[in-house]
Amino acid sequence: MSTPDHLLLVDDDRALLGLLGDYLRAAGYRISTAGNGREMRRVLAQQPVDLVVLDLMLPGDDGLALCRELRSRDAPQIPVLMLSARGDEADRVLGLEMGADDYLAKPFASRELLARIRSVLRRTRALPPNLQKGHDARRLVFAGWTLDTTARHLLDGDGALVALTGGEYRLLRVLLDHANRVLTRDQLLTLTQGRDADPFDRSIDLLVSRLRRRLRDDAREPRLIKTVRNEGYVFCAEVQAAGTLG
């Protein structure tokens, strides 16, 4: 029997945590809760977590700061579903730019939250065939950077590790596999998300922006990920396989 997925719910509304926790437990998940960043860090230090549901408006460190912390230091591969009582487009965009995998405005139906959780977990685990691990796992070298496709680590020219979210890794891998070819936004969506892609995931532009920052690629005059007007993007670098990893 498989182990239930472990969800961490972070919200300062204890009543809401109780209601959502009961609902998601009934749906088959294992639930931990936290009311602030300190409690979130304690849970993450004690046990593995499969997904974090993170409220934007929190006392102390807000959800954006905590999402940035997760992405940069603690757990770059843990998917994050961000919640907010503010449904502004700017908040949604900012949340996605900070590395959230999805964004849901309050108030919401419990069934919609459950559907979003299932979708995010599915996307982060069921990679399209072009991104699945194979026997020829290798290091891909480009423009002074190295992508380890086994560990999913990005290393700069000095060998320093640059953390990537799951979405950033998938996008970079697709761009490297199709270097010097123009890919439309729809092609990038399909290649990174496969059949599970849905209209909400059409945030390729935001993902490209985040990946450019990881690669220190000037958005005004990018050298690596260039925009092709009215078409999409092209990765402009030679990519070499540095050999099979043992």
Q: Of 168 and 124, which is predicted with more confidence?
A: 168
What is the pLDDT at residue 91? 62
CA distance linking residue 139 with residue 241, whole number of Å = 6
Whether residue 207 has pLDDT greater than 70: yes
Highest mean pLDDT among 16-30, 131-145, 208-222: 16-30
Contacts of 76 (CB under 8 A, 6+ apart): 70, 99, 163, 164, 165
pTM of the model: 0.60
236: left (phi over 0), alpha (psi -120 to 50) or beta: beta
Whether residue 88 has pLDDT greater than 70: no
- Lowest average pLDDT, out of 30-34, 92-96, 157-161, goes to 92-96
What is the pLDDT at residue 50? 93
Q: What percentage of the chain carries pLDDT values higher than 70?
A: 79
Whether residue 195 has pLDDT greater than 60: no
Whether residue 246 has pLDDT greater than 80: no
Find the mean pLDDT for residues 197-206. Answer: 62
SS3 letters for the chain? Answer: CCCCCEEEEECCCHHHHHHHHHHHHHCCCEEEEECCHHHHHHHHHHCCCCEEEEECCCCCCCHHHHHHHHHHHHCCCCCEEEEECCCCHHHHHHHHHCCCCEEEECCCCHHHHHHHHHHHHHHHHCCCHHHCCCCCCEEEEECCEEEECCCCEEECCCCCEECCCHHHHHHHHHHHHCCCCCEEHHHHHHHHHHHHCCHHHCCHHHHHHHHHHHCCCCCCCCCCEEEECCCEEEECCCCEEEEECC
Whether residue 40 has pLDDT greater than 90: yes
pLDDT band, very low/low/confident/very high, at 133 (cuts 50, 70, 90): very low
pLDDT band, very low/low/confident/very high, at 204 (cuts 50, 70, 90): confident
Find the mean pLDDT for residues 151-164. Answer: 86
CA distance linking residue 168 with residue 101, whole number of Å = 10
Q: What is the mean pLDDT of the chain?
A: 83
Find the mean pLDDT for residues 44-69. Answer: 90
Domains and CATH numbers, the chain: 6-125 (3.40.50.2300), 130-244 (1.10.10.10)
Q: Which amino acid is at 69?
A: E
What is the pLDDT at residue 142? 95
What is the pLDDT at residue 139? 86
Q: Which residues are paired to 165 by β-bridges?
A: none
What is the pLDDT at residue 167? 81
What is the pLDDT at residue 200? 47
Whether residue 42 has pLDDT greater than 70: yes
